C-alpha cells in the first residue's frame, strides 16, 4: 500500500505542471479562471481539489528533499567527524510529518525533518478542509432557508 501511494503521488507530482498548463489554456480560451461552468457551485470544489493536489505535492517534495540527497551530504552538519558510513532510515510516504533519520555505524542517530514543507502540507490540507466545510455549511443553510420559505 505504501508503494502504491508513493507511486501515485509521484505521478501526481509529475502531472501537476500539465494540470496547471491545461487550466491556464482553458482560462485563456474561455476568459475565466475557474474550470467550473458559470453560475455553478463547482468553483469551491475545484479550489478544494487544487488545495489537496498542492498538499500531496508538498508532502511528496518533503519526502524527496530528505531522500534525494546523499546521506553524507544530509547528515554531515550533525556529526561531521563520523565519516561516510552513514545511512538514512525512515521517510515513508504515509507518515506525517515526514521524518528521516541519519543512522551512523556506532548506533547514533539524528532526526532530519523538512519542517517548512511539512508546515506547507498541513496548511494546504487545512485550507482544503476549511473550504469544503464552509461550502457544506453554506449549502445546508441555503437548503434550510429554501425549505422554510416554501408554503
Over residues 75-120, the pLDDT tens digits come to 877 777 766 678 778 777 777 888 888 888 888 888 887 788 888 8
Given phi > 0 = left and psi -120 to 50 = alpha, else beta, which region is 11? alpha
Q: Are 132 and 48 in contact (CB under 8 A)?
A: yes
Q: Are 53 and 125 in contact (CB under 8 A)?
A: no
- Lowest-pLDDT range of 2-6, 21-25, 48-52, 119-123: 2-6
Residue 124, C-alpha cell as written in the block: 494546504
d(C-alpha 98, C-alpha 6), whole Å: 13
Q: 0.85 cut: is pTM over it?
A: no
Q: Which helix (H) or strand (E) holds 107?
A: none
Amino acid at each position: 500500500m505504501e508503494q502504491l501511494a508513493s507511486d501515485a503521488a509521484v505521478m501526481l507530482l509529475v502531472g501537476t505542471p500539465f494540470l496547471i498548463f491545461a487550466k491556464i489554456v482553458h482560462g485563456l480560451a474561455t476568459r475565466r479562471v475557474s474550470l467550473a461552468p458559470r453560475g455553478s457551485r463547482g468553483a469551491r470544489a475545484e479550489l478544494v481539489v487544487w488545495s489537496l493536489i498542492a498538499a500531496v505535492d508538498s508532502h511528496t517534495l518533503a519526502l524527496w528533499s530528505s531522500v534525494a540527497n546523499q546521506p553524507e551530504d544530509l547528515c554531515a552538519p550533525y556529526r561531521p567527524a563520523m565519516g561516510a558510513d552513514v545511512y538514512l532510515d525512515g521517510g515513508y510516504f504515509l507518515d506525517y510529518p515526514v521524518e528521516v533519520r541519519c543512522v551512523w555505524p556506532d548506533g547514533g542517530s539524528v532526526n532530519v525533518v523538512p519542517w517548512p514543507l511539512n508546515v506547507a502540507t498541513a496548511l494546504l490540507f487545512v485550507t482544503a478542509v476549511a473550504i469544503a466545510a464552509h461550502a457544506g455549511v453554506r449549502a445546508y443553510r441555503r437548503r434550510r432557508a429554501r425549505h422554510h420559505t416554501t408554503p
